[in-house]
Amino acid sequence: MESNQEKQEDSVTNNETYKLLTVMKALIADKESFPYEEDDNGNMMLYPNVVFDYFTKSEEFEWIEKKNTLTRRFKKIGVRSEQIRNEGGEKVRVYILNLKKFQDFCE
């Protein structure tokens, strides 16, 4: 018979928000392996193709077929999608993650 604590732990590890946080934390820890930018406000700007590839290679999110599915789920953890102008002046879509807020959310 499972104890309440074991049931609670199972519930947490099967929770999609927990899985999003876990994979995103791993991605951030591996940030030297992919292109990204940081601004003066502590925001990390990640390129959707890189993030999508990283997530779909994880066991938890290998089922996702479209970037917009992932983008919708990111709202749960405070990651937003925006268009910005790159150095060449063209608009590019990025995921914006405030590192401080993300770390607070993880705690």
pTM for this model (two decimals): 0.80
Q: In whole angstroms, what separates CA 34 from the centre of its chain? A: 14
Cα(47)–Cα(76) distance, rounded to whole angstroms? 19
DSSP H/E element including 92: strand 91-98
Cα(38)–Cα(55) distance, rounded to whole angstroms? 20
Whether 104 contacts 95, CB under 8 Å: no
Q: What is the pLDDT of residue 27?
A: 94
Q: Cβ atoms within 10 A of the Cβ of 79, count?
A: 22
Whether 75 contacts 24, CB under 8 Å: no
pLDDT in tens, the chain (107 residues): 555 554 444 454 468 999 999 999 999 999 888 888 888 898 999 999 999 999 999 999 999 999 999 999 999 999 999 998 888 889 999 999 999 999 888 88
